[in-house]
Amino acid sequence: MLEFLFYLMVINIVSFCLFAWDKQRSRKGAWRIRERDLLSIAVIGGSLGSLLGMYTLRHKTRHIKFKVGIPLIVLVQGILFFYVTKQ
């Protein structure tokens, strides 16, 4: 269980950093991280970092797939986490 919590901590930090990096790149008009990749990192456990990155950096908040998708992923992962740890 400790390894899993460590994984979640790391993946959420990476997720937040990817949102920050993409925001910085967007301001410079440079190459960007694909939306598919940002959503994928949320799906594999970085949803809280993605959500935090979205709203603290005000990045991707106009895109409906992020505005609805990321909170939905957080909800589903929260339910799964609760169910798995309850057992």
Enumerate helices (H) and strands (E) in the chain, giving the number of each.
Answer: 5, 0
Q: Quote the number of domains for the chain.
A: 1
pLDDT digits (tens, 9 = 90+) for 39-76: 999 999 999 999 999 999 999 989 999 999 999 999 99
Q: In the prediction, which pLDDT does 7 show? A: 96
Query: What is the pLDDT, as a whole number, of residue 50?
Result: 97
- Average pLDDT (13-32) is 95
Choose among 11, 7, 4, 1: nearest CA to 40: 11
**Tell me, what's the pLDDT at 84?**
87
**pTM, entire model:** 0.90
Q: What range does the domain containing 27 cover?
A: 2-86
Q: Is the pLDDT of residue 16 over 80?
A: yes
* Cβ-contact 46, 83 below 8 angstroms: no
